[in-house]
C-alpha cells in the first residue's frame, strides 16, 4: 500500500536568475519517479506536485528539499492509497451461479 501526497513548493530567487530557472525546477521535479503530476501556480507558491510514494512521503520530500532552487515546501495533504478491491458481483450473477451449481448429495 502506497501513500499519495500533495506538496506546494516555493522556488527561491537566485541573484542573476535566468528565465529558464523555473523550467530547470520543473525538469528536476519530472526526474523524480514518485512525482505523478506538476501544476504551475501563481501566488505564494510556484508549483503544486502530486506524489505517489511506495512507503513514506518524507523520503520524497527530502529529495525535493535537497534541490538548490527550493525555498519552501508545504505538505498540503497526505492520504493512504487503498489497494483495489475486487469487483462486486450483481445479484443476478450470484443467482445464476447458484442455479448452475450441482445439487448437494
Who wins on pLDDT, 29 or 92? Answer: 29
Please say if the pLDDT value at position 32 is more than 80. Answer: yes
Is residue 28 within 8 Å of 70, Cβ to Cβ? no
Give the separation between CA 94 and CA 102, rounded to whole angstroms.
14
Which of 15-19, 80-84, 90-94 has the highest average model confidence (pLDDT)?
90-94
pLDDT above 90: percentage of residues in the chain: 46
So what's the pLDDT on residue 66?
94
Q: What pLDDT band is residue 37 in, cutting at 50, 70 and 90?
A: very high
Question: Is pLDDT of 16 > 60?
Answer: no
**In the chain, where are the structural domains located?**
3-100
Class of domain 3-100: alpha beta
Amino acid at each position: 500500500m502506497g501513500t499519495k501526497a500533495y506538496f506546494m513548493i516555493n522556488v527561491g530567487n537566485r541573484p542573476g536568475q535566468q528565465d529558464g530557472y523555473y523550467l530547470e525546477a520543473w525538469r528536476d521535479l519530472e526526474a523524480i519517479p514518485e512525482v505523478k503530476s506538476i501544476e504551475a501556480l501563481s501566488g505564494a507558491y510556484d508549483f503544486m506536485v502530486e506524489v505517489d510514494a511506495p512507503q513514506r512521503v518524507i523520503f520524497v520530500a527530502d529529495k525535493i528539499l535537497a534541490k538548490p532552487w527550493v525555498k519552501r515546501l508545504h505538505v498540503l495533504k497526505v492520504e493512504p492509497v487503498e489497494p483495489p478491491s475486487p469487483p462486486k458481483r450483481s445479484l443476478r450473477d450470484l443467482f445464476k451461479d447458484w442455479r448452475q451449481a450441482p445439487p448437494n448429495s
